[in-house]
């Protein structure tokens, strides 16, 4: 299901989740205010290609809701629903990509390599994966 605006002259704000943070890159991508190469979207989640791919398939799955990282998740139902929706989307795009195996990564905090502070799950595939990650 697409949430794209039915009418091009409708205000952009119609696509913003109530949690929208104006300074957040991925909130702006989710709101369609910045372009992205989307491969999947529904009412809760979008998946798009990473701008700097580190593997032949490198996708980013994000919720439309703004949460900074896994550290912001709670046991409350909205967060459980968000996580379930993210992993359903990841399974779906992996199946569509036809990859045999894939890696899901989420960096939590700058020390772990997080550079965009809107929770996201990397899906990497299409090459041999090293273990442990660097």
109's contact among Zn ion, ligand 5GP, none, with CB below 5 to 8 A by partner kind, is none
- Which one is catalytic: 66, 118, 120, 122? 120
Among 7, 11, 111, 115, binds ligand 5GP (CB under 6 A): 115
- Which residues lie below 8 Å from residue 14, measured CB to CB, with a gap of 6+? 5
For the chain, the three-class secondary structure string (H helix, E strand, C coil) is CCCCCCCCCCCHHHHCCCCCCCCCHHHHHHCCCCCCCEEEECCCEEEEECCCCCCCEEEEEEECCCCCCHHHCCCCHHHHHHHHHHHHHHHHHHHHHCCCCCEEECCCCHHHCCCCCCCCEEEEECCCCCCCCC
Residue 29 CB, nearest approach to ligand 5GP (Å): 6
Among 48, 63, 121, 124, binds ligand 5GP (CB under 6 A): 48
In angstroms, give the least distance from the CB of 18 to Zn ion: 12
Q: Which of 3, 15, 17, 24 binds Zn ion (CB under 5 A)?
A: 24
> Within 57-96, which residues bind ligand 5GP (CB under 6 A)?
60
116 counts as binding Zn ion under rule CB under 5 A: no
Given the rule CB under 5 A, which residues bind Zn ion?
21, 24, 26-27, 66, 118
């Amino acid at each position: 299901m697409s949430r794209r605006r039915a009418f091009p002259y409708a205000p952009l704000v119609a696509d913003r989740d109530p949690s929208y943070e104006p300074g957040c890159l991925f909130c702006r991508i989710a709101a369609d205010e910045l372009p992205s190469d989307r491969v999947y979207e529904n009412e809760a989640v979008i998946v798009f290609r990473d701008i700097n791919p580190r593997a032949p398939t490198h996708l980013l799955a994000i919720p439309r809701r703004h949460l900074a990282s896994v550290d912001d998740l709670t046991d409350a139902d909205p967060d459980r629903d968000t996580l379930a929706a993210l992993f359903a989307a990841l399974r779906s795009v992996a199946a569509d990509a036809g990859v045999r195996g894939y890696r899901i990564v989420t960096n939590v905090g700058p020390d772990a390599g997080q550079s965009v502070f809107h929770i996201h799950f990397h899906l990497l595939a299409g090459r041999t994966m090293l273990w442990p990650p660097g």
